[in-house]
């Protein structure tokens, strides 16, 4: 269950350029739609974590970068699966360094969710319970993290998981609406809410959420993700308006 990124858009394979210790990984990551930049940022954080296992910042940012590369980066499905598994390992390093910090728990859930979403029922069953536990921990630590992302991700969990295994579209709506109290024009949260509302057969409300997503100004920190979700909102709205 992809918790942040939209449908994967896979660029052509590119090798990470050589980087120096002085390279700014954060700047490179902001340019993550270019595979070479995302790979270069990932390498800087990976090298830092290899040099010092308790480097919390490197660990969680590495988990975030691997989530992006595993859902939107170059390479075949098997390669992206390995990247997401490595993202889980990086998130666990962040959790070991600072157990009560939100970042490790959230990015572990994000990487697990992407694996569950893209790699079949077996992965979904394997990670279903750990994802929920990690998100509930993130929510308990810092509900406002990334504009309510713990609630948004839990809303997605309840939407994606079958009812027999704990899914509940009404709980999905409740969590997504809570997420929107932190950022009312979150494009990602609005699209997720629209999908939940469609499942609840509330198509007029879903249309309103999708139009709000289309009209919203992209967040400068989430420009690539917001662009994908705006496109998804337009496509979904078109199906509702037929």
Helix/strand/coil percent split, the chain, to 5? 75, 0, 25
- Measured in Å, how far apart are the chain's first and last C-alpha atoms? 27
Is pTM, for the whole model, over 0.95? no
**pLDDT by residue, tens only, the chain of 242 residues:** 566 543 333 333 334 444 444 369 999 999 999 999 999 999 999 999 999 999 999 999 999 999 999 999 888 888 999 999 999 999 999 999 999 999 999 999 999 999 988 876 666 678 899 999 999 999 999 999 999 999 999 999 999 999 999 999 999 999 999 999 999 999 999 999 999 999 999 999 999 999 999 999 999 999 999 999 999 999 999 999 77
Which residue has 């007029």 as its token pair? 204
| Cα distance between residue 87 and residue 82, in whole Å | 8
């Amino acid at each position: 269950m992809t918790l942040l990124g939209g449908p994967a858009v896979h660029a052509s394979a590119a090798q990470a350029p050589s980087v120096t210790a002085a390279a700014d990984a954060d700047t490179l990551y902001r340019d993550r739609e270019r595979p070479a930049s995302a790979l270069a940022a990932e390498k800087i954080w990976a090298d830092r974590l290899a040099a010092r296992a308790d480097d919390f910042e490197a660990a969680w940012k590495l988990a975030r970068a691997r989530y992006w590369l595993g859902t939107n980066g170059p390479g075949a499905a098997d390669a992206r699966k390995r990247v997401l598994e490595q993202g889980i390992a990086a998130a666990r390093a962040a959790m070991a360094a600072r157990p009560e910090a939100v970042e490790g728990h959230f990015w572990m859930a994000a990487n697990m969710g992407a694996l569950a979403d893209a790699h079949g029922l077996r992965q979904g069953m394997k990670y279903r319970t750990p994802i929920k536990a990690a998100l509930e921990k993130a929510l308990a630590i810092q509900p406002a993290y990334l504009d309510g992302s713990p609630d948004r991700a839990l809303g997605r969990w309840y939407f994606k998981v079958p009812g027999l295994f704990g899914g509940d579209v009404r709980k999905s709506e409740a969590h997504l609406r809570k997420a929107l109290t932190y950022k009312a024009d979150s494009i990602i949260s609005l699209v997720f809410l629209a999908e939940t509302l469609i499942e609840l057969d509330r198509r007029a409300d879903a249309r309103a959420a999708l139009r709000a997503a289309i009209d919203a100004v992209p967040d400068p920190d989430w420009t690539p993700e917001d662009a994908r979700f705006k496109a998804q909102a337009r496509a979904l709205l078109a199906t509702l308006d037929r």
